[in-house]
Structure 1
């Protein structure tokens, strides 16, 4: 069998937008992905549906998968002929043990490639408002492991001469770091900054000096993953802060998903500084429709699409059979603005179902079995153009996505999203009911709010008009108040 190849990919420190283009492409093409604890699991959504996802997370002071076992997995999966991605938080070459793992591949003659990523110290520092170099404050920069495993003494004399020093994962050893820096000549009034979960919406920063940083961090109960920054350059933070001043900074949201399309709601919250978890993860496969069937469908007076996926499935089938879209003489209707936009992107216009007349023949195009014969859609004929289903690989990942800071707000876009979060959240061994009791709840419309009440919950936010923009405005105004 032909040997596969291993790609060591730097995932960046947390913000999914910091993945490199080359790293993203490697994820999309992978047969197997071995991923770490500290990267953002949302990056895994780009993987193919048949890609095997293997969790290799390690937590401090606990037993888990060993480095030797990871090395063996890389070798065995590559020897099976797979395209393997070793997905690491930050940059694989900066305290990422890429050397050890690559050596194990080299010994077996397995080809590999390293795709660098944005390292935590540089990204987290800038997200906290501190550049690691500056002509007036810092012309030298050093990165040091905060929990040294080499059993060799750190060159503290050399470090005190460096303008800016970043310690990785050094919160537990912060008292020792402070003591050594001061004892080797660093002034006690040197600015210090500890950044936990850098570049995530849950990022938290504690600023002080070497004299008092230990007590300040202890008072805020910060822990790893964190970067500790030491140097006069930290004084620029007051002028250069940008991320922590976004309107939804520090807020954590859970958006209940019902489709494969990119969520406009999640994207809007993310752009405003919020950390957004989306669940469940959906996939779709096209249903084969014969050409004769498609041509018959075009004779209906009205066609109602129940989702964006049903739109694309139907139109893709037309394209596959070389049927010109201009042959559609039917009046087109949709259940949501998302579906309307999907049609617009394909050069077609539609109206919302609320404006659909009752007269005329009707074809309802759906994306899953529950759409078939749903009387709420109208008295007509039904066809499934695509099969949409929950990606159950993410049932294991969902609980880990919820680790850390509690979710403050849960958002539902339609009735189906309520059912799906309840069903698949509990299937993932997450106490959804308990989560909802502790969080604020937002819904886009009255129908969604009514479905939520069926489960014993009431919404805290509902816009006057059912739109993403108005719901986001409510959230921002609520946060400001």
Structure 2
């Protein structure tokens, strides 16, 4: 039996800047992405619009799938797809059970690749300003699991003498860990720290001592998932709270856009200042239909006076792609007319080296063309554009570029674990408030807000040059 390939990929602790180049490339190419609870949904923005997303998360005491079922899932999915990416928080071989999954794949004869990730054992303390080694303070560090089922007592026998001890998955066992370490001679006054949701907008950190850390963490509501650091480095303040001091730390932003590509470009601007970003886009919410557009491009190549009326950046991008596939030289399309009612769409055309011939309904009504191809993005506000096109005396043909997105093809056994993108976005929104941005006409993007239960909320308008320059609020 022929199998596809499975990539066991480390996603890092969640910050998109910590995703390796290889990891991102594999997510972009994947037919299926199987992701864990600790994988930030922001990283899934790199997946193809038609990729199947399957949740295989494990919360304390609540597992979507048992480990052996996850392994069976990977083998089964590889029978039906060319590339399956198993996306795991941190590094897949640092308490990520990646070795078990790799062994199961090898036994089944499935080709696989291992992609290390930035481990939370080092990155999470760093985002809280805690170095795991420090000249003159700590020359080494030990990483261990604090999970009670992993021989905790025997681990602590060996780890009590570590200069710096980093514990993963140890929040529930923290009181017992502190007691066991003190019984092994570790001073109760030893500096200690806990960092929850490190590198994410909801990061919270606390510094105390071995004796007081558990009680202080409980009092302040700092819980799993978290990394615990025990040792003198936990008292070092030389790095400061650099991440939490960033100008947009703690902010959460949801971008509504035509395509995920444009959303990713704008996300980088917010993330550079410490914000957390997610996006909901037309190309992720619906499938792109190219047949009508390609026929229209073919007609324009025959020299007829043809016009294209674009309502979204996605429409412009798809038009450029259709022109390229047809092998057309734009310089020969002398009778072609382009209209962009929205200023954001105008900028997307200009980014491609073209200036629109019409930027208003009135200009469209005066344009000398025989046929207008008018993009229909499904916003419910298309009648005004079609009316302007008809006023020119031209024939109007709608371009339906979007259609219902069918559920990804996954074996029936695993269908319950398939996650629609709108559900992932809605769950992210449920974690806390977020600013809503419209990358384009808010009226056109309103259906995307409706799709995730935010239809009544105002959308901020973002222009093509950057989010900071556009703070005006556009109502519902």
In structure 1, C-alpha distance between the alignment counterparts of 2:62 and 2:303, rounded to whole Å: 60
Is 1:313 the counterpart of 2:318? The answer is yes
Out of 193-202 and 37-46, give the one that drifted further.
37-46
- Which residue in the other structure is 2:401 paired with? 387
- Judging changes above 3 Å, is the alpha-carbon distance between structure 1 residues 366 and 178 closer, same or farther for their aligned structure 2 residues? same
- Which residue in the other structure is 1:284 paired with? 288
In structure 2, C-alpha distance between the alignment counterparts of 1:179 and 1:112, rounded to whole Å: 42
In structure 1, C-alpha distance between the alignment counterparts of 2:154 and 2:472, rounded to whole Å: 51
Out of 44-53 and 11-20, give the one that drifted further.
44-53
Q: By how many angstroms is 1:101 displaced? A: 1.7
> For 1:245, what is the secondary structure of its paired residue?
coil
- Which residue in the other structure is 1:84 paired with? 84
CA displacement, residues 433-459 of structure 1 (integer Å, 9 cap, x when unaligned): 7x95xxxx55329xxxxxxxxxxxxxx
- Judging changes above 3 Å, is the alpha-carbon distance between structure 1 residues 173 and 389 closer, same or farther for their aligned structure 2 residues? farther
- Judging changes above 3 Å, is the alpha-carbon distance between structure 1 residues 293 and 407 closer, same or farther for their aligned structure 2 residues? same
Choose the corresponding residue for 1:419, options 426, 447, 451: 447
- Which residue in the other structure is 1:191 paired with? 191
- Judging changes above 3 Å, is the alpha-carbon distance between structure 1 residues 43 and 123 closer, same or farther for their aligned structure 2 residues? same
Is 1:400 the counterpart of 2:427? The answer is yes
CA displacement, residues 260-307 of structure 1 (integer Å, 9 cap, x when unaligned): 44225543322221122322534534332256511367635x754222
In structure 1, C-alpha distance between the alignment counterparts of 2:86 and 2:167, rounded to whole Å: 24
> For 1:136, what is the secondary structure of its paired residue?
coil
> Within 5 Å, which residues of 2 pair with 1:96-107?
96-107=96-107
In structure 2, C-alpha distance between the alignment counterparts of 1:113 and 1:466, rounded to whole Å: 39
Q: By how many angstroms is 1:81 displaced? A: 6.0
> Within 5 Å, which residues of 2 pair with 1:72-471?
72-80=72-80, 82-151=82-151, 153-263=153-263, 265-280=266-281, 281-282=284-285, 283-287=287-291, 288-289=294-295, 292-295=298-301, 299=305, 304-329=309-334, 332-350=338-356, 353-354=359-360, 357=363, 359-361=366-368, 363=372, 365-366=374-375, 368=377, 374-376=383-385, 378-380=388-390, 382-383=396-397, 387-388=401-402, 393-402=420-429, 404=431, 406-413=432-439, 414-422=442-450, 424-426=451-453, 432=454, 436=457, 441-444=458-461, 468-471=467-470
Q: By how many angstroms is 1:338 displaced? A: 3.5
In structure 2, C-alpha distance between the alignment counterparts of 1:6 and 1:54, rounded to whole Å: 14
Q: By how many angstroms is 1:56 displaced? A: 0.7
Compare relative contact order (CA 8 Å, sep 6+) and give the higher one, 1 or 2. Answer: 2
CA displacement, residues 126-150 of structure 1 (integer Å, 9 cap, x when unaligned): 1111222222222101111121422
Structure 2 unaligned regions, length at least 5: 408-419
In structure 2, C-alpha distance between the alignment counterparts of 1:466 and 1:28, rounded to whole Å: 25
TM (normalized to structure 1)? 0.81
In structure 2, C-alpha distance between the alignment counterparts of 1:471 and 1:370, rounded to whole Å: 23
In structure 1, C-alpha distance between the alignment counterparts of 2:433 and 2:329, rounded to whole Å: 47
The 8 Å contact of residues 138 and 232 in structure 2, kept in 1 or not, is answered as: yes
Structure 1 unaligned regions, length at least 5: 427-431, 446-462, 475-481
> For 1:237, what is the secondary structure of its paired residue?
coil
Length, aligned pairs only: 443
The 8 Å contact of residues 304 and 353 in structure 1, kept in 2 or not, is answered as: no
Q: By how many angstroms is 1:4 displaced? A: 2.5
In structure 1, C-alpha distance between the alignment counterparts of 2:312 and 2:242, rounded to whole Å: 37
Q: By how many angstroms is 1:66 displaced? A: 1.0
Q: By how many angstroms is 1:219 displaced? A: 1.8
In structure 2, C-alpha distance between the alignment counterparts of 1:291 and 1:389, rounded to whole Å: 20
> For 1:255, what is the secondary structure of its paired residue?
strand
Q: By how many angstroms is 1:8 displaced? A: 0.7
- Which residue in the other structure is 2:413 paired with? none
In structure 1, C-alpha distance between the alignment counterparts of 2:322 and 2:218, rounded to whole Å: 60
